[in-house]
């Protein structure tokens, strides 16, 4: 099984390359904890989706620390990685989004079932164990995701992006990407297109953690062509995984199993998030949840 770590973003809200900002005295990143949990759950290959100019720093940090714990590969997200007949519109600098990032990993992943995560989110051991069990099955056309409780995934330092889900009998029926969700006045609010509305704090949300079979590449590629045909001239439009999945579910190309998890998310969306992350990890190490030095004995 392969774990794809989406780490190509520079973290504009954070103010730097947050994917490789240490959160322990040993210089470990949040990515280290995700990879450590994934390897212990049974993932044997890790693919980092990064910008090509960051290759050496990733090799010299987390890849070197891991040693032989898992096979390591790299893939690069670039604006000009487009289907034939399409080109980058003038003025576009923004990446094409998370579903495009998945497509950029096709060669590196090969024929494996695989999971996708963000690099700057702490997901918790339970989620990786659930996904590893699921991905040992034949997942063709039947994908999966851990479903988090929205209130457990918010930061006190600003807004976050989340895929708000509707489910029925353990299956995803709809997922809508919201790029600005935040707490205010004791409520959870979402703003977009000049409107603000309230969201139930116990809503099920995606944290961009998905499990796929390799047939998803063909589905996402076809969807990306449709996306570009409609939005290719928009220099800010992005092809998100929730958008790609919604399209595929509408066309009956796939289903998505949702596995509820009670874990509390934390991450470094903003620089002010870091002190709390460092303290939470310190406490988990002190409590024996993680060793003092993840890779010391591997």
Where along the chain do its domains lie? 2-286
| Tokens coding 164 | 């708000």
What lies within 8 Å, CB to CB, of 3 at 6+ separation is: 34, 35, 38, 43, 45, 46, 47, 114, 115, 117
β strands within 98-186, DSSP E: 114-118, 121-122, 142-149, 160-168, 171-184
Give the pLDDT score at 279. 92
Both tokens assigned to 233: 């001239």
Query: Tokens for 266?
Result: 């934390």
Closest by Cα among 292, 134, 289 to 210: 134
Closest of 103, 224, 209, 101 to residue 163, by C-alpha: 209
Predicted TM-score (pTM) of this structure = 0.90
Q: Are 257 and 165 in contact (CB under 8 A)?
A: no
The counts of H helices and E strands in the chain are 9, 14
In order along the chain (298 residues), what is the average pLDDT of each group of 10 residues?
Answer: 85 46 87 93 95 86 86 92 92 91 95 94 92 95 95 88 92 89 91 86 93 97 96 92 93 95 81 87 94 83
What integer pLDDT is reported at residue 59 of this predicted model?
Answer: 87
Per-residue confidence (pLDDT) for residue 264, from 0 to 100: 81
Please tell me the predicted confidence (pLDDT) of residue 12: 40
Helices 125-135 and 30-41: crossing angle in degrees, nearest 10, is 40
Q: Kindly calculate the radius of gyration of the chain based on its CA atoms and give it in whole angstroms.
A: 18
Whether the Cβ atoms of residue 6 and residue 208 lie closer than 8 Å to each other: yes
The C-alpha atoms of residue 192 and residue 210 are separated, in whole angstroms, by 25
The structure tokens listed for 283 are: 């406490």
Tokens 């099955």: give the residue.
137
| Whether CATH 3.90.550.10 fits 2-286 | yes
């Amino acid at each position: 099984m392969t774990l794809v770590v989406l780490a190509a973003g520079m973290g504009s809200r954070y103010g730097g390359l947050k994917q490789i900002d240490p959160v322990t005295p040993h210089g470990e990143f949040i990515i280290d904890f995700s990879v450590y949990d994934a390897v212990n759950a049974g993932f044997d290959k890790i693919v980092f989706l990064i910008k090509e100019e960051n290759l050496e720093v990733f090799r010299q940090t987390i890849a070197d620390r891991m040693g032989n714990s898992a096979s390591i590969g790299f893939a690069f997200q670039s604006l000009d990685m487009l289907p034939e007949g399409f080109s980058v519109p003038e003025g576009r600098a923004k990446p094409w989004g998370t579903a495009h990032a998945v497509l950029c990993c096709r060669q590196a992943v090969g024929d494996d079932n695989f999971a996708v995560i963000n690099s700057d989110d702490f997901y918790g051991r339970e989620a990786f164990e659930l996904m590893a069990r699921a991905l040992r099955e034949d997942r063709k056309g039947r994908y999966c995701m851990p479903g988090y409780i929205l209130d457990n995934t918010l930061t006190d330092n600003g807004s976050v992006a989340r895929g708000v889900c509707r489910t029925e009998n353990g299956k995803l029926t709809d997922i809508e990407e919201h790029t600005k969700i935040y707490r205010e006045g004791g409520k959870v609010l979402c703003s977009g297109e000049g409107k603000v509305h309230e969201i139930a704090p116990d809503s099920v949300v995606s944290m961009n953690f998905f499990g796929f079979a390799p047939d998803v590449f063909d589905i996402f590629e076809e969807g990306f062509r449709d996306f570009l045909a409609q939005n290719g001239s928009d220099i800010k439009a992005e092809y998100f995984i929730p958008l790609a999945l919604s399209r595929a579910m509408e066309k009956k190309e796939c289903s998505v199993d949702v596995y509820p998890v009670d874990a509390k998310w934390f991450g470094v969306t903003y620089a002010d998030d870091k002190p709390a992350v460092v303290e939470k990890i310190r406490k988990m190490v002190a409590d024996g949840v993680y060793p003092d030095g993840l890779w010391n004995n591997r």
